[in-house]
Amino acid sequence: MIPFIATALVAFVLYLILTAGSGSFGLWSPVELGMGVLVSCVTAAISRSFFISDTGYRMANPLRWVRFAVYICVPFFLEMARANLDVAYRVITGNIRPGIVRIAPGLKTDFGVLMLANSITLTPGTLTVGVDEATNDLFVHMIHIGMGDEKKEIFESADLFSIFPLTDWIRRIAE
Amino acid sequence: MIADLLILACVGIGLLFNTLGIIGILRFPDVYTRLHAETKTTTFGTIFLAAAVVVYGVSRLLESGDGQYLTLSVHTVVALLALAVTNATGAHAIARAAHRSGQAPSPAVIDRYLEEEA
Amino acid sequence: MTDIWTGAVVVLGILILLAMIRLVLGPTVPDRVVALDAVNTLTVAAMILLAVIYRQIVFVDVAIVYALLSFVGTLYIAKSVGGELGQ
């Protein structure tokens, strides 16, 4: 029951954001509100088991949301900007030395691994290719591996993110 | 006036990165390196194009007080979030599928994933 | 002011055509999917800009739905290429 209500609430809030300014009842028209309730209940009935997959409800804590917002706006965005300048440079010069390496971030939750995988994909010259589900190790395709670095068995996350320790940020948000 | 300059700058940066992304797709040697060019640069470029629209919406809102410009900005931000999340996950899915279908990264100095699967 | 937006959409259109070169050339299916994904992203960007030009906010809503649906399409093709369907 709790997964159903939580999913329906999130869907309903999203619906309200998208239909704001439609009428006289507050910001919304009564028809939109009614449809919103209906649609979010249907959505929740279908997708509750994907949306909330573990029963810890760690992410219900608003402090984690605040950290998440700060994470997206400051360290993640700066790393992403640097990544783009780097890739832009490699597009122009064609100077690449690609390969797939293994990193062991030591994250325990699915959401944490998802966030790290997506962060890696959008940041410096790295792309998550696969996950070792037993240990939550990630296989990362790097567009440029430093000379001699390919001999390392396991890469540290500091090798991937040079400005901010993103793995530590994700650990604080998701675990 | 400042808003116009900001919009022009955002559109310029956005188009520049999108162009680099497409050049990367055409130029890079294998599917993984092409994915690098595709996901990162086109997502980043589109963020800037959307930022230009948000700046436009906010500046018009302050000028005219018309609520529809606020709606435009909010919807653009939602579209951007949808795009950023789905692009990263989609790139991951394509890379994994390419690797599973037996396409090795070429050129590559190392491939730990292949050693793992073998 | 409209000139900036129109020009940007024209440039995006040209980029989409260039991405289609890779879509046609291939050589493998994943390469084509990458090109298709780039076309989708640029289409979403173009739709957002067209919403400004034509003053129709509904274009942005269409862009949201297009982004999500094209994601589903990409995932489906990826699953198919990876041989993970029908198990």
- Does B73 map to a domain? yes
What's the confidence (pLDDT) of residue C16? 92
Please say if the pLDDT value at position C14 is more than 90: yes
C20 vs A67, which has greater pLDDT? C20
**Domain count within chain A:** 2
| Residue C17 scores a pLDDT above 70 | yes
Q: Do A95 and A133 fall within a single domain?
A: yes
Residue B80 lies in a domain: yes
**C81 or C10, which is more confident:** C10
Q: Chain-wide mean pLDDT for chain A? A: 76
How many domains does chain C contain in total? 1
Q: Say yes or no to pLDDT of C26 above 60.
A: yes
Omega before C27 cis (within 30°)? yes
- Put simply, the answer to whether B101 touches C44 (Cβ < 8 Å) is no
Kindly tell me if the per-residue pLDDT of B113 is higher than 70. Answer: no
Choose the closest CB to B92 out of A18, A20, A117. A117
Co-location of A151 and A95 in the same domain: yes
* Domain span including residue C47: 2-81
Contact B58, B73 (CB under 8 A): yes
For residue A154, the model assigns a pLDDT of 67
Total domains present in chain B: 1
pLDDT at B110: 66
CATH value at residue C61: 1.10.287
Residues of B in contact with A111 (CB under 8 A): none
Q: Average pLDDT for residues A127-149, to the nearest whole number? A: 74
The per-residue pLDDT for A120 is 79
Strand order in the sheet with A137-142: A99-103, A137-142, A126-132
> Using a CB-CB distance cutoff of 8 angstroms, which residues of chain C are in contact with residue B49?
8, 45, 48-49
* Rounded-to-5 percentages of helix, strand, coil across chain B: 85, 0, 15
Is pLDDT of C29 > 90?
no
- Chain B hits for C41, CB-CB cut-off 8 Å, are 38, 42-43, 46, 83, 87
Would you say residue A60 has pLDDT above 70? Answer: no
Q: What is the mean pLDDT of residues C29-49?
A: 89
| Domain C-terminal end among A53, A76, A96 | A53
Q: Does any domain span residue B111?
A: no
Q: Where is mean pLDDT largest: A56-60, B93-97, C34-38? A: C34-38
Same domain as A109, residue A38: no
Q: With respect to residue B118, please indicate whether it lies within any of the assigned structural domains.
A: no
